A and B are shown apart, each in its own frame.
Chain A
């Protein structure tokens, strides 16, 4: 859906009724969106805002699921390799630890941040915000958490790791017996949840919640 651009006579008091495209700086007049509708910039086609079809309660339930699944994906072994009766399995922490001890500390730090620290932070912060957003309130630390969530942006890479695990399995399959472990299923479920959350426009929380009067 395209928004009609406003005329030039808008004044600053009507700022709430305006949207500015972050990719081309075009000013748009805001239209109320129905569930599942997306507002796109008339000039460059960027998404201006998205109305999610999911309420805060549903999202909170999904975040709790994500937390459980994430814990399982991190703690459980991902795959087991067998060779001549010997078996080796690995969890995410084994991966990070071996990279650290094998002279690739840079990779170990990157993996620890993008596969563990940042995703976990994202889950906890979102959960905290949604817990309060259910009743239209702003959680303590709302401003800081919202800004941090925005900055975390593309630095969570669990979905890339899942694809990496698939490639590793295919490569290892040439020389070893490969057995999938519960961790890989947990990662599959996590990937589904990530896809759902990719379609959620979090900036709407700024409008949907109000500050509590002291």
Chain B
């Protein structure tokens, strides 16, 4: 027995919703409900790998048109200009403030890519039962959960500019399909990280170091 006992070894389940400690009395997974809040108890989230992979793949499929298609059209005096996510960042960098360009670049490009790479790494390494850098991998998961929703930044920028720039022929901003795909990417990656169960990181091979 390892120094730090795990709930599954002691026949216990922790409720994800209210934190109540419940004992498993031989019942099937999925048939148990938390006595305090009534939520269904799971030793591990059901079908975590399949659901997470499916949502991550769907998010990636949405991410391609989100980057290729323009997200916003600016028209002024008959001059039409279509912006993609990347060209928006470049414009901020060149004309506005480079600091803000870095923030938008992080939220729109780095965070989604980080989510794909991080969740992919977590899914593969956990499936193999690897005991490599478990603590750091759990921290990576928490980081993904924490920063995930900040990617909505660009979607809100397009929405706000569309509502504000309504000067008819002189100046007009319109949303283009890319922004819808980008919004869906963010929502799908958020669902994907919710479906992953970080407890799977700690299953498999015994730790060698503790």
Point out residues on A near B: beta carbons under 8 Å.
5-6, 8, 10, 12, 15-16, 18-27, 42-46, 49, 78-79, 81, 83-84, 86, 88-90, 94-99, 102-104, 106-108, 110-111, 114, 143, 146-147, 150-151, 153-155, 157, 160-161, 163-168, 170-176, 203, 206
Contacts and interface: CB of A to CB of B under 8 A. Distances in A.
A61 to B, nearest CB: 25
B175 A99 contact: yes
A203 B146 CA distance: 18
- How extensive is the interface on chain B, given as a class? 35 or more
A107 B4 contact: no
A23 B138 contact: yes
Interface of B: 1, 3-14, 16-23, 36-39, 76, 88, 91-92, 95-97, 100, 103-104, 107, 134-135, 138-139, 141-142, 145, 148-150, 152-167, 170-171, 174-175, 179-180, 183-184, 187, 190, 194, 198-199, 201-202, 210
Contact of A6 (B5, B100, B103): B5
25 contacts: A5-B5, A19-B14, A20-B7, A20-B12, A20-B14, A22-B199, A26-B5, A26-B202, A27-B6, A27-B7, A44-B139, A86-B170, A88-B164, A95-B160, A97-B163, A99-B162, A106-B184, A146-B18, A160-B152, A160-B153, A165-B160, A166-B100, A171-B157, A176-B171, A206-B37
Contacts of A157: 149, 152, 156
Given A8-B10, A20-B12, A111-B159, 18 more contacts: A5-B4, A10-B10, A20-B21, A24-B138, A43-B202, A43-B210, A44-B202, A84-B167, A90-B160, A95-B159, A107-B179, A108-B159, A154-B145, A160-B152, A163-B150, A164-B153, A164-B154, A168-B157
B135 A5 contact: no
A99 B160 CA distance: 9
B100 A90 contact: no
Contacts of B180: 104, 106-107
Contacts, number: 224
Nearest to A114: B152
B148 A154 contact: yes
Contacts of A98: 159, 162-163, 166
Nearest to A104: B175
Nearest to B1: A8
B153 A167 contact: yes
A88 B18 CA distance: 47
Contacts of B157: 164, 167-168, 171
Contacts of B5: 5-6, 8, 26-27
Nearest to A17: B21
B96 A170 contact: yes
Nearest to A151: B17
Contacts of A45: 135, 138-139
